[in-house]
Amino acid sequence: MTTENNQHAGVQPETTILRNLRIGFQVWLGEMRLLLVGAGRAFELRQLQRRLDEECAALGRHTAEHLAASGEEAVPPSFDMIRSARQVQFLQDEILRLRSEQEDAANRARERAPHNNRD
């Protein structure tokens, strides 16, 4: 019956099947893109967190060396301490920015989801 309706409407069944396959493939490509983007963001966050841990450790080492060298005297922080502290702050800010972007992307995806009608 559907074939008869399609033939009467001037649409060939093969054309409809190919159109459905093309749309399905486009949806699949979109999902794969989202999956890869999410994996890339997660990898980037892990790398930044690892780098932050390394910089915190370096800052601790520089501080310990500086305190050992200066004893009880009050001296300004060394160049290495300042550089490490700035790097730690930069990495913390970058991690917060990326997490915020990730949450925004997840919220946008939830809003676009067709099953979002829970009212």
Distance of CA 12 to the CA centre of its chain: 44
pLDDT in tens, 37-46: 889 999 999 9
Phi, psi dihedrals of residue 76, rounded to the nearest 5°: -65, 155
Residue 32 domain-assigned? Answer: yes
Q: Is residue 1 classed as helix, strand or coil in its secondary structure?
A: coil
Q: Read off the pTM.
A: 0.66
Residue 119 domain-assigned? Answer: no
**55 in Cβ contact with 8 (< 8 Å):** no
Q: How many domains does the chain have?
A: 1
| Domain ranges, residue 90 | 2-112
Residue 74 domain-assigned? Answer: yes
Residue 27 domain-assigned? Answer: yes
Phi, psi dihedrals of residue 20, rounded to the nearest 5°: -65, -40
Residue 118 domain-assigned? Answer: no
**Which amino acid is present at 25?**
F
Distance between CA atoms of residues 63 and 44, nearest Å: 28
Distance between CA atoms of residues 48 and 113, nearest Å: 30
Residue 87 domain-assigned? Answer: yes
pLDDT in tens, 15-71: 889 999 999 999 999 889 988 988 999 999 999 999 999 999 999 999 888 888 887
Residue 6 domain-assigned? Answer: yes
Residue 54 domain-assigned? Answer: yes
